[in-house]
Each structure stands twice: as structure tokens, then as C-alpha cells.
Amino acid sequence: MLIELKDVYKIYSEGLESEVRALDGVSLTIDRGEFVAVVGQSGSGKSTMMNVLGCLDIPTHGTYLLDGVDVKELTDRELSHIRNKQIGFIFQQYNLVQSLNVLENVELPLIYQGIGADERRELALDALDRVGLLGREKHKPSEMSGGQQQRVAIARAISTRPPIIMADEPTGALDSHTGHDVLHFLQDLNKGGSTVILITHDNGIAATARRCVRIADGKIVDDQAQEVDWL
Amino acid sequence: MNIRQAIKMAFKSIRGNKGRSVLTMLGIIIGIASVMTIVSVITGSNQKTMEQFEAMGTNKVNVSASRYDGRNVFDDLYNYCNSLGGDLVLGVTPSSQFSATVVYGTKNSAVMDKNQQNMWNSNGNGDTANSTADLPPTMYFGSDQYAICNNFKIGKGRDISQMDIQRYAQVCVLGARAAKIFFNYANPVGQTMQVNGLPITVIGVYEEKDPDSQWSMDNIIVFPYTSSRYLAPDTQMTDFIVKASSSSATTEVISRLTGYLGGIITDQNGYFSVYSDNEWQQSSNEYATQMSLILGGIAAISLLVGGIGIMNIMLVTVTERTREIGIRRAIGAERRSIVIQFLIEAAMLCGIGGMIGIIIGYVGSLIAGKLLLQMIVWPAPWITACAFALSVLLGILFGIYPAAKASRLQPVEALRAE
């Protein structure tokens, strides 16, 4: 079992009148190599779920075992290492560092791994090649289209070759054609053995995954395998 | 993330915000430049004073003693000084000043006395810097060790000898400026001057040692002390110079002489004084250090203000770059990496500001030195090194808080920032 959530709560302002239960007793397991779509409306708790799964946030109650390790027991430094080596993030807003060029953005997680300049460059160029952006290394994010920026973000996510890819509304800011390319790429990554977790509000997009977890008001309301809409 | 990477990133960030970076550095630039200029100018002026002390001769003990009953202490004191021994003392000379009229050809010291009088009367402060008039030489009775005691070297002819002293010889040695005044470029050695109407032969000329000042220590004439008998019979020979072998010997000589004179002279029957220029030198040094500290301290306040400016801008930077910090944390940056990144950025900002300040400080020192001291003041390497270290230190010091603040940001919160 790669990911195991046991009765996980994420509660803001706990005990106060303004208490919000973003995750309300969620239990979920995800195996290595799965492609899971987490679907829910805005405010359903799906982004909180991704933050918890991505070790960006710690659950208020409950247990999250990542590869058998209880995340709650880890130090801030160990959590950083997990985010760096185990997880590749793809965000809706790309989240590229605007002052760095394409190559430097893709190299960033490798820098934090302490990889030497030559190897780093090689890995980053390989990732850029995979997303079809070779030759654009020196461009700044602001000089690229949304689709291209998202491809840079994907290159950054896969440059460290992490076992898990987490994509939070990766097509949200893209036109349908470009969004299609991104989803196709995620399917390819999954075929290559990566575990992919896709967070979306769109049922059409969720149809690209082999398993669909529906979430509403912080609770899982449906979880089943589905026919894949191969792109 | 290693330091090289962090430095590269800091460079990028500073270059990316040129205008703001320059404004931020301004405080440090002004602070470092003023501290450097002030400390350099004070150090330079002290150095100049020290050089003058050096020229006058170091480890010099000035002794003065006389008794009201007119009893002669000269011979006893001279003998005692000579008995102090070679380890402690390099030379002993009487050094009594007297006045006399010196005439050679058309040159007359009485006329020069009037010149000096007029000068005092006209500008009241004795400032002779712009005057071309000759000033009268100062005349001393001394021994064959006058040169050793006062750091003179014979340039032409010979020095006063024991024989001259024993024979009451009618001879004198000129300081370089006195020689120039009376003989211009001619060789004075062997020439005869009239001193108080008596023929005195010039036997030697000292090398020049203080060419800048017109109140020169080179404007002197030295006679064998025994010639006081006929040149200035009324002169009381009360003063000696004892040249000690080292600064510790100076202290020893002062204590021995004070002990000796205390035994033969009391407050009731006379007076005596024993002091060394070392004390002057020391107090002049202390004064310069104090001035450096006070003025440097005032200038350092501007550095402090500059440092606070850096902190302010770094805090703004952290706020502006919250999202970037969130991205970095999300993809695996440890808190430590964020701290290092912002600390290095602050240190580099201050370091670059410091370097610009140092360059301006060099120019400022040169200009201020030329205007205030009429000399070339070049900041010492230690001042430069300290100034640079100080600026980097300030950067680190004032960067700590913003860097810590940046590193404490939670990745989720930081990613939400606009």
C-alpha cells in the first residue's frame, strides 16, 4: 500500500463556532501504479485532501501512512525530503518562479536534492524533452503561453522521477485542446508506472482516470473503478 | 542547496530589482564611506604627528633642574646622567636655549627677530605658511652627544667633539635650515659667523629632517656648552636631554632621575622636572584613537540606519515573495535552505553596498586628506577589510529576522498568497 488514510480529519478553528471540517473522517487507500481522480465541487475538501496527501499540510486527527510511514511523526525537514523525492506537484496556476528561466525552474527540485550542476542539467533537459520544450530553456515563464507553462511545471514535477504525481486541477487554466495534451501526458506517466492522483471538479476530466473518488463536504461519497477514457 | 547556488540566486534577485537594490544599498554605501573617510583621515593625521615625533627623536627624556639659592646642580646632574650606563642611556647632552645675535654677511638674526615680530603682529597667530621671510634660528648649548639625543645626523663637516668642549672652542654646528638661511647654497663649513660679536667657526651642518614646516627643528645652531662662559655668561645651564635606549629604558631613566633629583632638590629650595616625549606621543595616540572612536561611532549610526533599511526591504521582499517561498517549500526546500537564501541575499546586498562605499571612502579619504591635512591619505588595508567585514556582518545581522520569518511560512499558506 503506497497511501493509506485512516479516519483523517482536517478541522480549521476546531471547537469554535466558526469550525470548518475540510476533511471529515476520510479513509482511503491507494496502491502503487494507480491513476485516481478525486472529484468534488468547489469547497468539497478535495484541495485539502491533496495538501494532506502531498505532505503540504498535516491532518488534525487520524493517520496518514505514506509508504508505511506515519507522516505525523515526521519532522519538517523529513517532510521536505518526502515532497522533494517522492512527490511531483502539478498545480492549476503552474506555480513557476517568475524570476527564473525554464531550465532553472525545472532544475529547482534537483538543486534541493543537492545534485551536481552537470547531472542536474542533464536530468532537467531530459524532462523538458519529454514535455516537448527542448530549445525553450532560456525563456522566462512570462514569455510562454499557459499550456507551455503547465508543461514546464510538469517537467519540474517529473525531473526528480518521483513515484507519485499529484495534479491539482492541472487543466483548469488551459483551453480544451491544451488540457487534453496534459491529461494525455498524465496517462502516459501512469502507464510508465507512476502513481497519479488527479484532483478535479470536472467529471469529463475524471473519466481519464481508472478510479474515481467522489468527495463532498469533506467526506468520501463514492469510490469505484471505472472505464478509462483513453486519450 | 549549496552556498554557490544560493549566491547565484541572490545575484539574480538583486539584479532583478536593480532600482530597489541600489536604494537599499544607499544607507550602507553612505555609512561605510563616511566611517572609512573619518577613520582614515584621523589615522593619517596621527601618523603625521607620529612622524614628527619620530623626527624629533623618540625615547627622549627632558630634564630640567635648578635651585633658588643659585647652587650649581649642573655638574652633579650631568655626572649622574652619564653614570646611568650604556644599557639604559644612549647619550646625554645639556640642552639650554639662549639668545644671541648671529651675523654673517648681510644676514642678521636681529633683523629676523623683527620679521617674526611683525608676522605675529600682522596675523596674530604666527602662521608663517605663506611667508617667505627668514625666521631667526634657535640657539642651543650642547655636547658632542647633542646629535644622538635629538636624532640629527651630520651632513657636512663634523660634529662637536669632546676636544671642542674641553677647549671652549669657538665653533658651532648648523641645522639644515639655519645653514640655508645664512649661507644659501654655499658650503658653510669653515666659514666664520659673528655671534654676539665673537667669531665662531662653522664646523658642520646637520642633515635636513623636517623640510615641511617653517617653524623647523632644522632652524637651529648648536654650540659646545662650555662656550656659554663667553657667549652668554648669564645663561643658567638647567636643561638636559637624556636619550634612553628603549621605551622601557625611558621609564626606568625617568624614575631614576626623579629619585635622584628628589634627593637633592625639594619644593623649598628649587624645582625640577623630568618628562619624556613618549608621554606626549602616547597621549597624542590616545587622543587620535578617541577621536576615531567618537567620529567613527557617529558615522556608524548611519550604518545602523542603513542596516535597518536593509531589514525593512528584506521584510518587504519576503512578503512579496511569499508565493515563491511556498513553491520552493512545496518542491522540497528545507527551512534551512530558505534561511540561507534570504541571509545570503541580505549579506550580498550589504556586501556590494560595502564595496561601493569602500571605493567612495577611498576617494573621500584622498580629498579630505588633501584639503584638511595637505597630505595623501590612503585608507589602511585593515580599515578596508574591517569596513567590508562590517557591511557583510550588518547584512547577516539585519537579514536574520526576515530570513527566519520567510522560513517559518507554512507551504500551504504561502502557496495561497497572491
Check if A81 contacts B (Cβ < 8 Å).
Answer: yes
Distance CA A188, CA A184 (A): 6
Place of cell 614628527: B52
Give pLDDT tens digits for A160-175: 999 999 999 999 888 8
Contact B327 A97 (CB under 8 A): yes
**Residue spans of beta strands (DSSP E) within B72-137:** 89-94, 96-98, 102-104, 107-108
Nearest CA to CA, how far is B327 from chain A (Å)? 6
Rg of chain A over all Cα atoms, to the nearest angstrom:
18
Other C-beta atoms within 10 Å of A55: how many? 22
Check if A169 contacts B (Cβ < 8 Å).
Answer: no
Which phi-psi region, left, alpha or beta, contains residue B296 (left: φ > 0; alpha: ψ -120 to 50)?
A: alpha
Contact B13 A99 (CB under 8 A): yes
Domain spans of chain B, in order of start = 3-51+283-416, 83-245
Place of cell 536604494: B23
Across B371-383, average pLDDT: 84
With cut-offs at 50, 70 and 90, classify the pLDDT of residue B119. low
Say whether B131 sits in a helix, a strand or coil.
coil
pLDDT at A196: 96
Least confident of B28-32, B65-69, B336-340: B65-69
pLDDT at A229: 73
Count Cβ neighbours within 10 Å for each residue of B28-40 and write b for 16 or more, e otherwise.
Answer: bbbbbbbbbbbbb
pLDDT at B215: 60
Give pLDDT tens digits for B99-111: 888 999 888 888 8
For A178, the grid coordinates are 491544451
Percent of residues, chain A, with pLDDT higher than 90: 81
Q: H-helix or E-strand containing B182?
A: helix B176-183
In this complex, the residue of A57, A81, A98 whose CB is nearest that of residue B332 is A81
Give pLDDT tens digits for B265-318: 888 888 888 888 777 777 888 888 888 888 888 888 888 888 888 888 889 888
pLDDT at A78: 95
CB distance A165 to A186 below 8 Å: yes
In this complex, the residue of A95, A96, A113 whose CB is nearest that of residue B415 is A95
pLDDT at B146: 92
CB distance A103 to A121 below 8 Å: yes
- Domain of A127, CATH number, reads 3.40.50.300
Q: When comparing pLDDT for B216 and B192, which is higher? A: B192
Nearest CA to CA, how far is A17 from chain B (Å)? 22
DSSP string covering A4-68, please?
EEEEEEEEESTTSTT-EEEEEEEEEEE-TT-EEEEE--TTSSHHHHHHHHTTSS--SEEEEEETT
Count structural domains, chain A.
Answer: 1
pLDDT at B132: 57
**Residue spans of beta strands (DSSP E) within B262-312:** 270-276
Q: What is the length of chain A?
A: 231
A17 part of a folded domain? no
Give chain A positions within 8 Å (CB) of B344. none
- The chain-wide mean pLDDT, for chain A, equals 92
A26 part of a folded domain? no
A6 part of a folded domain? no
Percent of residues, chain B, with pLDDT higher than 90: 28
A13 part of a folded domain? no
Q: Which amino acid belongs to residue B333?
A: A
Nearest CA to CA, how far is A229 from chain B (Å)? 30
pLDDT at B126: 47
pTM of the model: 0.69
A151 part of a folded domain? yes
Give pLDDT tens digits for A105-162: 999 999 999 898 999 999 999 999 999 999 999 999 999 999 899 999 999 999 999 9
pLDDT at B123: 56
pLDDT at B214: 54
Which residue on chain A is closest to B414 by alpha carbon?
A56
ipTM over 0.90: yes
Across B373-390, average pLDDT: 86
Cα distances from A155 to residues A68, A164, A208, A217, B326, in angstroms, run 28, 14, 20, 33, 19
